[in-house]
Structure 1
Amino acid sequence: MTIASDSSPTLWNPPEPALSVRQVLTLERVLAGEPEVVAGAGHLDRPVRWVHVAEAADVGVMLSGGEMVLTTGVLLAGDEGKQTEYIRSLHRAEAAAVVLGLGRAFPAPPDVMRRAAERCGLPLVVLHRPFPFAELTEEVQSRLVRRKFASVSLSEAVRTALTALITAGAPLQALLDEIARHSACPVVVANLAHRVLATAGERPAVDDVLRDWERIARQAGAGQGDGWIRAELGGRGERWGRIVLCGYRGDGATGRLLADRAAEALVLHRMLGGGAGRTWEEQSARSLLTDLVGGAVPARQLLPRARAAGLPVNRRTFVPLAVPGGETAGLDRLLRLLGLPGLVAELADGATAVLLSLARDQDADALTAHFATRLRDGPGAARTVVAAADARTAWDEVPAGLREARHVADAVAGSADALALPAVVRLKDVHLRGLIRLLRDDPHVQSFAERELDGLLRRADDDLLSVLRTYLATGRNKSRTAQLHHVSRPALYRRLEAVQACLGADLDDFEQAASVHIALLAHDAQQQ
């Protein structure tokens, strides 16, 4: 096999891999010696750690692995036993390759050494033209030193950038984005059960990794080949996760250094409570559910993330829920206690989203009701309600379901009659209140509410406003209103007269009372 020159070598960013045997043989100075690979042609991608010129027959004992050994074989000529043992000793020392300069000792490639090298899988290269070995060692060593310096510089650049982000209180995602920028490959953080907690990198490449994440991750756990480089996360003698560079294209030593720097930063970030007090598991669930609710990313594209996060997605029934003011950790504990697979995350509007993933043969309504009842019966949760959308069997319908559940939760949030609501509240249960909450930001609705309630709002009498709210909520039941406000009926009549005077409305007239009721619902919705 004759080596041809590559006039336009590919340059990677991050730094190039350590020089391989193949790359050394394409250097201009080496090509002048007319190199020919006579054995071990399938192992030319071995990395060259150093170049060693040696004529001693027992050179193997002086090596530590990864060296390209240059020799003229002057001490091996005429002794086939020494030639065979020479190759075997280099193989035992894990040398990268041996380069034999043809000349007085060996005018042609020695067949004994060729056969021994082929059996060992050791690249044996002969040079057909005289070649000053000093030029090769100088060229290769200088390149290796430059690569080593580039690796150290990259390591320090990453350390500096990550430290600055941690100091600024940046979230986990910002750190991972920085790591992905330097590594130029997908980055995954997973717990010990291979559940993905966070990712970074170009979205298509990340999705390719996540599609079959668990199988790939377990295979990668057995070794770090093919650019899969991992570093363990933990402290005080306990491991709790790992960071994986997936398909890193640079030098393996540089990749390991980069992964170690990343791991150090992530451990420090976790120790300092980065992420606004949320665990990485909570941040992962929040990111996924927020993206599902937002709809900016198609649900189909989020499926690999959901699967990698540990959510069962094949042939499942999905139940979207929302709990107004729900406490994430408590809801997550309840799901585990009941054996219900799902994700829990607090959304930006204060509601907590829950996405259950049930087997197709399970009764979704019964399990949802059981979950809601256990939640309501829990300590300090007497007023808790669960807003639910109808179960979905198609993943693409989950975002709409989550938005519906959040809308229902928004409609009942802060409701004074939460105890009168069922444990599971659905869209059909929120009636007019739900519509008003949906339209509360509409300028026309806001103008209507201000116009209808102007006289009462200008008086700024909270007692009268409270009486009006109760009177309308009880279906204009004066006895019930008086009872709830602990006043006599005559006293209530006087207050209702004052309310009507302020509003300029007759609350005994159904249409006028309905108009005031809608305005009051809109006003209350806008205050929350």
Structure 2
Amino acid sequence: MDGTVCLTIRPCTHDPAPVLPTVAEVLALPSVAAAAPRVLAGDPERTVVRWVHSSEVYEMGGLLSGGEFLLTTGLGLHGRSPRQLVDYTDRLADAGCVGLALELGRTFLEVPDELVRTAARRGLVLIELTAVAPFARMVENFHDLVVAARDPGHRPAEAVWQELLALVVTGQGLSAVLDAVARLAGCPVHVADPAGRVVAASRVPAPPDVPGECTGADVRGPQGLAGRLVLHGRPTRARVGVADRAAVAVALELGRAPAAAVRPSPAQSLVSDLVAGVRLSPAQVRTRLTEAGLPPAAGAEVLVLGVLVDRRTPPEDVVAAVHAAGDAALGRCLVAVGRRLVVVVARTRRGGARSAAQRLRAALDEGRAADAVLLVAAADPVVDDGGLGEALAQARSVVELAHRVGVRRPVVLAGDLAVHQLLAEAVPADRLAAFVDSRLRPVLDHDSAHGTELLRTLDAHLTHGLVKARTAAALGIRRQSLHARLDRLTTLLGAPVEDPAQLVGLAVALVGWQLRTGTDAQAGPVRTR
């Protein structure tokens, strides 16, 4: 044979795939158009929507699963500080929310600048609705739009196939094919080789439909199995239809340009195997680290850092920038993609994990990937190379937990959230809720009834080691104001905050409150009274 791929293409018996609507299509719905929408940030034409929600809950970011377009009157944002508005928008983007529409007139006369700037920075579509917005009707109209997309006559299967085939025939490349598949399926897409190692991924902004659920189709060429196409969304009949057609298009593209199926680097291969749960002995891990360019070093530990990037940015797109930052900050390091994280593996002196993580973050902030990086998480360093797999898992756990409790610090170490992890894993939810209530209820009730910031003050005072000057500076208030707040806390709690008998209990209760609410206590508005 001369290398030409020979395939027998059979008609697919699956239902044709629905195309998830874009924000532009949502804005064209009669009920939305009647509210006179105006785009303030983002790209409505390229952003796809999985569902439309309406909510006034400030903590809504922790309740989303990705792909939502959120409608709000801003009631939950009333009285919030500029920092809180930024945090609110960041939390939505972190959760994969693709768009936010704010109805003017009920809470705001104009969209706050903080929302506009943060939405533009995060690639979130931001819409202002200048007329009365019937949210219930908007949700119904969106549902009708999705149902219409499931109609076989809405987008014939042949049209899906012809679109993908045209990209192959015109030589647009594998990336363009995968981008089109991601848009058609409404979820991220990647191609893996027969060993399960990722070789290419989509770049179109599209959050996973349901994290952890995937739809797959084998990619077959003249020599048999060439790999697997993976769609990061639940396997509906429609999405399976897209996968079947796309697998043929990918096979044609790989046959047309075999160089597109490059093998992953040794570092990527090792990380992919460990993430997939492949059992490797310490000796095997050490050998593969050495082959990848990270041999053992006397007196050094293995440090794993997870770089979390904006969900609209495929991790594969920033690997080169992260590698450059890692080499500059840490010396020789390995960089690979582990699901949604860019993984950095380095050897560092003992006790230097925090310094190493901070140097990496500083280098990232100065590099090409600065706008995409959300967080750098560091696992506990391991002395034995055989612990690399557990360190990878811990780095991911730190990222997930930081998101859950609303932590927005640029660098988070496993030790920073050790108590959070212990409570989340070892204490039943009802027991934890009862404990938090028993310790903090008087403070929470007082803040709710009087609009005070005693919980935030308590958290800041413990965070800053009970040093009043540092606490006052962190809160932006005078020392006299801090003394007044601490006196009120003493009255409500029945003992001074500094009392050793209750100090540990209060600290644990604050951690439990974070786990329950998903909110950083320091994100509250700054008051000066």
TM-score > 0.5 by shorter chain: no
Structure having the higher Rg = 1
RCO comparison, higher one (Cα < 8 Å, 6+): 2
When normalised by structure 1's length, the TM-score is 0.39
